[in-house]
Amino acid sequence: MSPLTQKSVADSFSDFVESEEKDFTLRDGSRIAVVGGGPAGSFFTYFLLKMAQAIDLDIEVDIFEPRSFKYCGPAGCNHCGGIVSESLVQTLAAEGIVLPRSVVQRGVESYVVHMDVGDVAIESPVHERRIAALYRGNGPREGCDVELESFDNYLQEMVKGLGANIVPQLITGVENHDDRPFLKYGDGKGERYDLVAMAAGVNSNLINMLGELPGDYEPPKTTRGYICEFRSTKEEIMRILGRAVHVFLLDIPRFEFAAIIPKGQFVTVVMVGEDLDQELVHTFLNDPVVRRTFPTGATPCVCSCSPLINLGARKRPYGDRVVMIGDSGITRLYKDGIGAAFRTGKAAATSAIFHGVSAKDFEKHYWPTCRNIVNDNRVGKVMFATNAIMKNSRITRKAMLRMAQKEQQKDQARPHMSTLLWNMFTGSAPYVEMFRGTLHPGFIYNLMLSLGAALVPGKKAVQPRKKVA
């Protein structure tokens, strides 16, 4: 036998021995910890238990969540605007997750885009009311007297029904003990698990304590957003806002966009920008366009927060026996965080059940889903940079508005700009799909026409079509 052949046999034997010593497959009795009981943790658990049941695999799943999403205010808050897109509603239903009417605070029929040059109401391109406004917790502070049902609590109850254990325990650290992740509890005790799924999100301090785990995980880049809850009456909010989400594209430095979302007798105001501070928040809330749409001065703010927003992971979100899902790892830029939690949770569960829980298994079977989101976010950054340029010019703002208004006026018009704006705000389509839409000859042609009209002095905006309430 040649030296080369001897080396090959030795290497093969070494790989075999290593694979025998380190078994990364889940077996009967395997214990899985899910740190974080929000949508990412619940979706991961849902698919993990469903798939395990399908192949007759007996596993134990503990979900660690110190908060109760049955509470209103900060005790049950999960830092989210609370919009579920029509595409996700359909996907959830196809997977057997049907949102009850008690969870959906308001069905959204349209988006109204507000600029200093005018407004336009944009109906769903598919003419179906499939957007849900909901609360991740049980509503804002001072809302305990209102009958609300938490989306996150609904998902938790669903996975409890499948056999998951909800553990109201704070995790204070994660270590590596004998090639197994070890969770440390607030009382100093802890337990070892065969797999840990981190779903705590970027607003948790825990993701900064993962240095001892296998892999080279680093927390995602972040920026600050702003969420404020206003309270009125259902009748008053319906009169002012109707069944629409109101979006604002304003020429304010460091400001990307903001949305006002009606939810029963509450209204959620969400702002996204570059490290928002109180000065920028004050500037937005006192902008004349905002005040004529929603008189925040006459409606009390009962709850507010400035959560961190994931701008992208620095490293691949997995290691041996550990995987980061949802906001802890990869999520969509500014949009559809619940949808990203669903996709990453399902992909991670599929890898764990059918392939294994090593870094190599997650690399091959989980990372492709994450990579698709990462690549799409790169296009999203270009889209938002372009949007920032266009919204900072009065001429281009007028052109965008005029183009969308003309499309909404004509029943047979191809809704190029309307579809772009709808998908940008709802997260219903990938950024890549939106970008392709901007390359369509019809989009470019109509945008040029609208730019030309915007340059004509005294040219009046298209009058919106009256709609029956």
Cβ neighbour number for residue 376 with a 10 Å cutoff? 19
Number of domains in the chain: 1
Give per-residue burial for 19-46: e unless 16+ CB within 10 Å, then b. eeeeebebeeebbbbbbbbbbbbbbbbb
What is 54-75 written as a DSSP string?
HTT---EEEEE--S-TTS-GGG
Rg (CA), the chain: 24
Which of 34, 338, 74 lies closest to 206 in space, CA to CA?
34
Question: pLDDT digit string (tens) for 77-118?
Answer: 666 667 777 778 888 889 998 888 777 766 677 889 999 999
The SS3 assignment for 414 reads: coil
SS3 breakdown of the chain: % helix, strand, coil, rounded to 5? Answer: 40, 20, 35
Which of 200, 199, 197 lies closest to 213 in space, CA to CA?
197
Q: Round to whole Å and give the CA distance between 371 and 326.
A: 13
Find the CATH number of the domain harbouring 194: 3.50.50.60
Whether residue 202 is contained in a domain is answered as yes
Whether residue 261 is contained in a domain is answered as no
- The β-bridge partners of 122 are 111
pLDDT, position 140: 66
Whether residue 231 is contained in a domain is answered as no
What is the domain range of residue 316?
31-72+150-221+312-380
The answer to whether the CB of 224 falls within 8 A of the CB of 276 is yes
pLDDT, position 264: 79
Whether residue 53 is contained in a domain is answered as yes
Task: Name residues of the chain where pLDDT drops below 70.
Answer: 1-21, 70-81, 105-107, 125-130, 137-148, 209-216, 296-299, 458-469
pLDDT, position 428: 81
Q: Round to whole Å and give the CA distance between 43 and 273.
A: 29
Whether residue 253 is contained in a domain is answered as no
Whether residue 60 is contained in a domain is answered as yes
Whether residue 322 is contained in a domain is answered as yes
Whether residue 418 is contained in a domain is answered as no
pTM metric for this prediction: 0.87
Give the dihedral sign, CA 403/408/410/416: positive
pLDDT, position 409: 86
